[in-house]
Amino acid sequence: MSFLKPTLCKMSMDSRARKVFAAAVEAVQPDTVVRHSVERKEDSAIIDGHKFPLKHNLHIVGFGKAVLGMAAETERILGDHLVKGVISHNKNSHFHHSHLLLKDNNCIKVIEGAKHNLPDANAQMAAEKIKHLASELTEKDLLLVLISGGGSALLPAPIPPISLQEKLDVTRRLAAAGATIQQLNTVRLALSLLKGGGLAQYAHPAQVVALILSDVIGDPLDLIASGPTVQNEVGPEDVLLVLEQYKLLNSLPSSVKDVLGRPGTWCKVSEDETDKAEHVLNVVIGSNSVALKHAGLCARELGFRPVILSPGVCGDVRLVSRLYGLLARFACSREEPSPDISAELLRLGPEVGVQTWDLCRTMQVLGEGRTEGWGATCLLAGGEPTVKLTGKGRGGRNQELALQVGLELRGLEPPPIGPVFLSGGTDGQDGPTEAAGAITDARLYEEAQAQGLDVDHFLINNDSYTFFSQLSAGQHLVVPGLTCTNVMDVHVLSTQSELQ
């Protein structure tokens, strides 16, 4: 494996890590991903290698936190053929980037709903208008469906006579009982008109093209916004098994029992589905992998040798932080690292969503760096770790991960020789705070002690935002503001040996 030696950079490790994170976010801006995915050639749109004729036959619907910017760029490229559109946009996602706003006097209706990321009456009204628009289309029409994170809450359409509140109650009870996301989705699809391929069915026989900005690990089309354009394979027996497992079958509202008793009203698998599926194209145009790729390009420009670990990091932040701490020690070791470090890394990897092959590849690159003497590495990863709540403080998974990693780095060299770690949410908001995340290094524990901050107390109370706000006057916080996009989190672990 041969790499060019990165160029030197005089910028601080902290500043470089922040620039790498910013590059990741910029790469998945809603207008950027649409512009890179939709090409205009005379009176045709080229998407994912497919050519779609434009004859004043274009309709747009969208739902999610980033769809306003996606719609604005789509309108810029294809707007002269646009007939009508309906966008269901998050009520909390106000921003002031003019290039992400629709033109004045446009023909796209924007409805704001799902305040606090929960389905509400406004979101349900938007879903009804989207359903109505789709159901009026003909075989001559082209429907662009714009989907991003938060889309499920912005497209609630319970099958009558189920009310929105009844549907929410059933899914909340399942979640409280410990149901997995897959099980929740199974029941959610059975109670919805539009999820699980329902929207594509209403749009038939029109051509449907879904442009998807993924906020789910692995980019599974059926889970992103509950797959409104993806054929649903859920059958009656699947739903009954989930409800029986959690002992909810006998306590369901009568409306839900009524709908589940008539599978024909919700089961979307039928003999003519293959024909309908041929009229649907689903394209993931932005994801965590895209963000990491561009972060790597930026890292190289800043003098690092980039290595992408995985876009699917998940699991308890304490285990994830241990993994990053071990990788930092592996990268910073002046001699061949202890076999115990490698063994623990390979044991931890699968527990936090990192494949053994990816860990072996990463350790090989880090080892080559030590023997070949290029000095600086930037390890990149992404995903969505989880935090076990034990307190009532303010924070989020990114700030808590940064705090835990800071403790794991204790004893290593400080920057510019030692490692720097940054964890940030690409949406710009980590939990109920104004920060996207935080940046830390091996000095964190001593720095906190010198300022009278009890790290353990803040961790027990899940109060990482308060901790970082007080530590060195908040200099460790990453605060880009709302970014208008979301592809989960980005993790940056950069190291620079004494060779540089």
Q: Are residues 143 and 211 in the same domain?
A: yes
Same domain, 312 and 454: yes
Average pLDDT, rounded, for the chain = 91
Arithmetic mean of pLDDT, 6-23: 85
| Residue for token pair 């080229």 | 46
How far is Cα of residue 377 from the mean position of the Cα atoms in its chain?
25
Task: Examine the domain organization and report whether 440 and 464 are in the same domain.
Answer: yes
**For position 74, which CATH number holds?**
3.40.50.10180
Instruction: State pLDDT tens for residues 149-174.
Output: 889 999 999 999 999 999 999 999 99
Question: Can you read off the two tokens belonging to residue 14?
Answer: 């902290």
Residue 184 within a domain: no
Same domain, residue pair 309 and 417: yes
Q: Does one domain contain both 340 and 477?
A: yes
Alpha helices in 349-471 (DSSP H): 356-372, 397-408, 444-450, 455-460, 464-470
Sheet with 420-425, strands from edge to edge, namely 305-313, 376-383, 489-496, 420-425, 437-441, 477-478
Give the tens place of pLDDT for each residue, 435-447: 999 999 999 999 9
Same-domain status, 82 and 225: yes
Predicted local confidence at residue 4, as pLDDT: 46
* Residues across the chain: 500
Q: What percent of the chain has pLDDT over 70?
A: 91
pLDDT in tens, 477-490: 999 998 989 999 99
CATH number, domain of 453, equals 3.40.1480.10
Residue 222 has pLDDT above 50, yes or no: yes
Let me know: does 441 contact 479? Beta carbons within 8 Å. Answer: no
Phi, psi of 272 (to 5 degrees): -95, 15
pLDDT 10s digits, 343-362: 999 999 999 999 999 999 99
* Per-residue pLDDT at 181 exceeds 90: no
Cα–Cα distances (Å) from 377 to 8, 118, 345, 451, in that order, read 12, 41, 18, 31
- Band the pLDDT of 2: cuts 50, 70, 90: very low
pLDDT band at 497 (very low <50, low <70, confident <90, very high): low
Q: Where does a domain end: 223, 256, 286? A: 286
**476: containing domain:** 289-496
Whether residue 370 lies inside any domain: the answer is yes
The reply to whether 97 and 213 lie within a common domain is: yes
**Could you report the per-residue pLDDT of 114-128, keeping only the tens digit for each?**
987 889 999 999 999
Decide if pLDDT at 3 tops 50: no
336 and 280, same domain (yes or no): no
| Dihedral Cα 112, 118, 120, 124, nearest 10 deg | 80
Q: Total structural domains in the chain?
A: 2
Q: Is residue 95 part of a domain?
A: yes
The pLDDT confidence band at residue 271, using thresholds 50, 70 and 90, is: low
Is the pLDDT at 242 greater than 80? The verdict is yes
Residue 457 is encoded by which pair of tokens? 């107390």
Q: Are residues 274 and 327 in the same domain?
A: no
Domain final residue pick, 286, 321, 350 = 286
The residue with tokens 């900005």 is 213
pLDDT band at 98 (very low <50, low <70, confident <90, very high): low
Mean pLDDT of 326-345: 90
Taking a C-beta distance cutoff of 8 angstroms, is the pair 85, 109 a contact? Answer: yes
End-to-end Cα spacing for the chain: 21
**The tokens of 291 are what?**
């963000």
Residue 416: what pLDDT?
86
CA distance 268 to 56: 31
| Residues 337, 434 share a domain | yes
The answer as to whether 62 is a domain residue is: yes
Backbone φ/ψ region at 423: left (φ over 0), alpha (ψ -120 to 50), beta: beta
- pLDDT, one tens digit per residue, over 446-482 is 999 999 999 999 999 999 999 999 999 999 999 999 8
The pLDDT of residue 500 is above 50: no
Over the stretch 380-413, which tens digit does the pLDDT of each residue have? Answer: 999 999 998 899 999 999 999 999 999 999 999 9
Same domain, 272 and 339: no
| Residue 245, in any domain of the structure | no
Q: What is the pTM of this model?
A: 0.90
3-state SS assignment for residue 428: coil
Residues 6+ apart with CB under 8 A from 228: 145, 147, 151, 155, 194, 195, 196, 197, 198, 199, 200, 210
